[in-house]
Structure 1
Amino acid sequence: MKRNFDDLLLGSIELFCLAAELSSFTAAAAAASVTPAAVSRSVSRLEERLGVRLFVRTTRQIRLTDGGRVYFEQCRQALLQLVDAERLVTGGQAAPAGLLRISMPTPYAHYRVLPLLPQFRKRYPQVQVDVHLSNRNIDFADEGYDLAIRGRAPDDSNLIARKLEDAALVLVAAPSYLKRAGKPKTLDDLQKHDCIQFELPSTGRKIPWTFQHDGKDIDVVTKGSYCCLDDVLGVATLVRSGAGLVQTYRYIVEKDLKNGDLVELMPQFGGSSRPFILLYPHARHLSLRVRTFVDFLVENLTTGLR
């Protein structure tokens, strides 16, 4: 195997990653116990080797270029894998460590995953967790994420997909709205009501509502005066305020239903659900922190929801 990296180049990559993380040559120098000039030389060395500008520099700050951001994410993952490799050989992998980056939809984060993170960190205190909350599909390679939770598995053979749950859907409204507009009793009645919409950012289309009729799922297109983009929790706030009807995940409104702040409607057409799937890249040697977190989520979500 040909040698592509000498000690000087590997050191330059480490200093570059530090500067990118801290957005400062001076801070990176202090963290690495070197001079700011040494950091600057290391970055220049990499830029000359790659033929790509990595930072935009001003007198007050530095920021990554688009190419620099891609290079940083790849280099950071490579350095973390080197750390994992050393721990694996020396036996230090008994304790997962390092930065874990996960992307997930807002409601699933708030109601399912975020409440579990203190328990995970208590068990594995050397793991730091970065959480990205969005319905937008992320690019694992370009954005440097370890895992993602999404509503469907993409057509990507490089990703492993594990279902966490089928989340039940429920149609609800506030008593104040029902007092004003009455209760729908049939699916056709929905056309007479203010139905709060949600637009999926990945497609730009409003999500149809799904019901079960004669043992089959059917989609119903609804209309309304309100539409939320990107954040599903917005529809929950609107429905609690009496804005209209909404179909949402039961786990979001469970407490509201129990205390009477919301009312479940047309349960005879209930029973539909949507999946939540854990995604992560195939890897010959998946880092211990990722494997540990995958096992933790599967254990706490798939078993805890039965």
Structure 2
Amino acid sequence: MKRNFHNVLLGSIELFCLAAEHGNFTSAANAAGVTPAAVSRSILRLEERLGVRLFVRTTRQIRLTDAGQVYFNQCRQALDQLVDAEHEITGGQSAPSGVLRISMPTPYGHYRVLPLLPEFRARYPEVQVETHLSNRNVDFADEGYDLAIRGRSPPDSSLIARKLEDAELVLVATPAYLKRAGVPQTLEDLQQHDCIQFELPSTGRKIAWPFHINDQEVIDVVTPSSYCCSDDAMGIATLARSSAGLVQIYRFIVEQDLARGDLVELLPQHGGTSRPFLLLYPHARHLSLRVRTFVDFLIEKLDPH
């Protein structure tokens, strides 16, 4: 195998990553124990080798170009894996460290994962956690994410999917809405009500509502779309709490509203349906210690089995 890298180039990559993380050459130089001029020369060597600009420079700051962001995401992951591999072999890494980047849907983040992060950081204070809350599917390689949580299995076979839980769905409305519009007694009655829908960003389709019609069979009911939210699923909860209409929503979002009587559960004889939430991460022969640790932590906290 021929050599593609040498010590100077690897050092330049490390200085490039420090400059990207600190946002200026001086702070990167201080962190590395070199001069700002040495950092600048290293970046210039990389840009000449790659034939692209990595930073946009001004008199006060630097910022990554689009190409620089892609290169940084890949280099940061590669350097982290080198450090983890060295520590694993020498037994030098007793605790995970570094930056962990995770993307997750808005409601699952707010109600399931974000409340757990202080406990995770208390256990592993050397790990910094960056969260991205959105229903958009992210590109692990190009955007530099370590993990993602989604409600559907990915079409990408390069990703590992581990189920975190089956989240129960519940049909709810406020007492004020029910006083105004009446209480539905059957699934057919839903067609006469104001229904609040969520539109999947990936398909642009409104999500049908699943209901049990007996112990074994589940049907999807397409309801009238009086209101529709897209991108941020928390919007449907806000509309329901404002007496806009009926909504089928995850129980974990509204369980406190139900306990206080601010929302009422409807058609419980057809309830009990659920949707899965999956933890996704790339196939890798060597996952960093912080990623493996966080995976184990979430499984411990969220998987009932």
- Taking structure 2 as the reference length, the TM-score comes to 0.95
Matched residue, 2:173: 173
CA distance in 1, matches of 2:198, 2:22: 37
1:166–1:273 CA contact under 8 A, matched in 2: yes
CA distance in 1, matches of 2:92, 2:184: 61
Q: Where does 1:1-306 land on structure 2 (aligned, <5 Å)?
A: 1-214=1-214, 215-303=216-304
* Identity level (%): 78
Unaligned runs of 5+ in 1: none
* Count of matched residue pairs: 304
CA distance in 1, matches of 2:26, 2:55: 14
Per the alignment, in what secondary structure is the counterpart of residue 94 of structure 1?
A: coil
Per the alignment, in what secondary structure is the counterpart of residue 100 of structure 1?
A: strand
CA distance in 2, matches of 1:25, 1:117: 32
CA distance in 2, matches of 1:204, 1:297: 30
CA distance in 2, matches of 1:57, 1:220: 55
Letter of the 1:299 partner, please give it: E
Q: Higher mean Cα deviation, 25-34 or 255-264? A: 25-34
Letter of the 1:275 partner, please give it: P
CA distance in 1, matches of 2:24, 2:180: 58
CA distance in 1, matches of 2:139, 2:300: 26
After TM superposition, the runs of 4+ consecutive aligned structure 1 residues lying more than 6 A away are none
Per-residue deviation, 1:300 = 1.2
Per-residue deviation, 1:78 = 0.6
**CA deviation digits over 1:43-66, x for unaligned, max 9?**
111011011221222334322222
CA distance in 2, matches of 1:292, 1:59: 41
Per the alignment, in what secondary structure is the counterpart of residue 34 of structure 2?
A: coil
Q: Higher mean Cα deviation, 176-185 or 51-60? A: 51-60
CA distance in 1, matches of 2:289, 2:29: 29
CA distance in 2, matches of 1:141, 1:114: 24
1:166–1:274 CA contact under 8 A, matched in 2: yes
CA distance in 2, matches of 1:289, 1:219: 40
**CA deviation digits over 1:220-242, x for unaligned, max 9?**
22223322221111211111111
CA distance in 2, matches of 1:63, 1:32: 19
Q: Higher mean Cα deviation, 268-277 or 26-35? A: 26-35
Per-residue deviation, 1:9 = 0.8
**CA deviation digits over 1:206-260, x for unaligned, max 9?**
2111112233221122223322221111211111111111000011111111110
RMSD over aligned CA atoms reads 1.5
Per-residue deviation, 1:104 = 0.8
Q: Higher mean Cα deviation, 140-149 or 210-219? A: 210-219
CA distance in 1, matches of 2:60, 2:228: 41
**CA deviation digits over 1:126-177, x for unaligned, max 9?**
1111111111101111111111111011122211111111111100001111
Unaligned runs of 5+ in 2: none
Per-residue deviation, 1:24 = 1.9
CA distance in 2, matches of 1:53, 1:198: 41
